[in-house]
Amino acid sequence: MSTRYEDFISGLKKRNPHQTEFHQAVEEFASSVFPIYEANKGYCKEQILERLTEPDRIISFRVSWEDDEGNFRANRAWRVQFNKCLGPYKGGLRFHPDVNESVLKFLGFEQIFKNALTGLPMGGAKGGSNFNPKGKSDREVMRFCQSLMTELHRYIGEDTDVPAGDIGVGTREISYLFGHYIRMENRWVGVLTGKGASCGGSAVRKEATGWGCMYFCEHMLNQHGEALGGQRVAISGAGNVALYAAHKAMEKGAKVITMSDSDGYVHIPEGLTEEQWHNLVKLKEEDDGRISEFAENETGVTFHEGKPWGVSCEIAMPCATQNELDESAAETLINNGVVAVCEGANMPCTAKAVERFRHNGILFGPGKAANAGGVAVSGFEQSQNAIRVSWSREEVDERLQSLMKDIHNRCVEAGSREGQKIVDYADGANIAAFQKVATAMHAYGVV
């Protein structure tokens, strides 16, 4: 890479000390787009990349709430409004003890490009809190959500910023947040997405990220003469993304051989059955259970500590959290014959792991393309709310499938190189998204 690139990265690190996840996301992106950036003197003069890596604003605030024992509690929350060139800010809220500014900046940065790839008018943002919803009662979660929204409502709006869910923020949390927003504002507007069906939510939103990821993975395989049916799929996570990715894989005739949570993973050599999948959804979505309990209750399922990447498979789909698949896990997967790796989570593969896949001819679907189905259906939810209609499940799924195909094609167009058999989807996603955002930034002038 050039001196200009080295200067750009060292400047970024100096301005954002200790924000390792944010550095990682920017380096991954900039290494793809820098040749195009440098070749365009206008972009360099206008400091497009420097401006693009500086959020429009970061709002940080205290959330005070009272637990069931009457103790006063306080957490920190943020909203990172990163870039609104393409539309109102859009991106999820995450509730997890590991949440900090660096994590939210990396997620907000990725969100700009993911949203650009959907072709929908959405800017990039992310938010959340270091609040841990695990083990809290419904009333505690409600009080926390209401207190958070008391502050957040000043900064969001249907044409300004439209948050959604993420890790630790599902339909329950979105409902509490939304209920408090409409009460304070005395207006019913689609200011949050991921709402329940009875509160103005879209059909297929819950399934969208996992299903979309599997649609993307199938396109990647087909593009390279492979099929999804009959393949063994190792999935990590047992949350929203993982569960619905698993179900779509099963529907398409693939074998889901692992699922996980933060305690460990389950191995199902014969593949998850329809009945087992329903039992797992109940365990995770209704009973707040652990994956180890799933192994205790089912035949042909064993529980193991650690991550699932030692299990031999053709397709690996990390759907839990960032940096959950490192270089040594990548080596193991490659040695065991993995064909494709498709990111359901945001940045689940470390930079070194991605490098291993790309250099070994493994199909690699980056999260900003592969998991964009969730935000896409959130965009559909905004449209339905704005025009006061509800589309059917079939209609939303049809739109989702067509949008994932378009994203795949944009990646192929920007990521195909003469003489290379394998499409570089990481480069393709970064370049296609950058061209769209940079064109808008250039058109707006100095803003």
Single out the segment in contact with ligand NDP by CB under 6 A; choices: 50-58, 151-159, 178-186, 341-349: 341-349
Per-residue exposure over 126-164, b if at least 16 CB sit within 10 Å of its own CB, e if not:
bbbbbbebeebeeebbbbbbbbbbeebbebbbeeebbbb
Q: State the Cα angle at 417 between 413 and 422, rounded to 5°.
A: 90
User: Is 393 exposed, middle or buried (CB count within 10 Å of its CB: 0-12, 13-18, 19+)?
Assistant: exposed
Single out the segment in contact with ligand NDP by CB under 6 A; choices: 57-65, 236-244, 271-279, 350-358: 236-244
Single out the segment in contact with ligand NDP by CB under 6 A; choices: 150-158, 179-187, 316-324, 408-416: 316-324
Q: Identity (one letter) of the amino acid at 429? A: A
Question: How far apart are the C-alpha atoms of 202 and 163, rounded to whole Å?
Answer: 15
Least separation, in Å, of the C-beta of 370 and ligand NDP? 9
For ligand NDP, the nearest residue by Cβ is: 239
* Block residue for tokens 């943002």: 125
The site string for ligand NDP over 84-123 (x = CB under 6 A, - otherwise) reads: ----------------------------------------
**426 interacts with ligand NDP by CB under 6 A:** no
Question: How far apart are the C-alpha atoms of 434 and 438, rounded to whole Å?
Answer: 6
Q: Which of 90, 126, 368, 436 is catalytic?
A: 126
Q: Are 319 and 237 in contact (CB under 8 A)?
A: yes
Per DSSP, what are the bridge partners of residue 259? 266
Q: Are 260 and 307 in contact (CB under 8 A)?
A: yes
Q: Where are the alpha helices (H) located in 164-236, listed in sequence order?
A: 171-185, 205-223
Helix, strand or coil for residue 265?
A: strand
**318 interacts with ligand NDP by CB under 6 A:** no
Question: How far apart are the C-alpha atoms of 370 and 220, rounded to whole Å?
Answer: 10
Helix, strand or coil for residue 264?
A: strand
List the structure tokens of 321. 């959290």
Strands 57-66, 89-95: pairing kind = unpaired
The per-type count for the chain, helices as H runs and strands as E runs, is 17, 12
**321 interacts with ligand NDP by CB under 6 A:** yes
**168 interacts with ligand NDP by CB under 6 A:** yes
**239 interacts with ligand NDP by CB under 6 A:** yes
Least separation, in Å, of the C-beta of 106 and ligand NDP? 10
Q: What is the largest CA-CA distance in the chain?
A: 67
Nearer to ligand NDP, 165 or 428 (CB): 165
**366 interacts with ligand NDP by CB under 6 A:** no
**129 interacts with ligand NDP by CB under 6 A:** no
Nearer to ligand NDP, 81 or 371 (CB): 371
**175 interacts with ligand NDP by CB under 6 A:** no
Nearer to ligand NDP, 200 or 344 (CB): 344
Nearer to ligand NDP, 323 or 439 (CB): 323
**147 interacts with ligand NDP by CB under 6 A:** no
Nearer to ligand NDP, 185 or 263 (CB): 263
**Residue 365 phi, psi (nearest 5):** -100, 110
* Interface pick for ligand NDP out of 85, 191, 241, 311 (rule CB under 6 A): 241
The site string for ligand NDP over 255-284 (x = CB under 6 A, - otherwise) reads: ------xx----------------------
Closest CA to 76 of 58, 102, 100: 100
* Interface pick for ligand NDP out of 117, 320, 338, 411 (rule CB under 6 A): 320
Question: How far apart are the C-alpha atoms of 147 and 53, rounded to whole Å?
Answer: 30
**55 interacts with ligand NDP by CB under 6 A:** no
* Interface pick for ligand NDP out of 220, 301, 345, 407 (rule CB under 6 A): 345
Interface with ligand NDP: number of residues (CB under 6 A): 22
* Interface pick for ligand NDP out of 129, 209, 276, 384 (rule CB under 6 A): 209
255: annotated active-site residue: no
User: Rule CB under 6 A: which residues touch ligand NDP?
Assistant: 165-168, 209, 237-242, 261-262, 319-321, 324, 344-346, 371, 374
Give the catalytic positions in this structure: 126
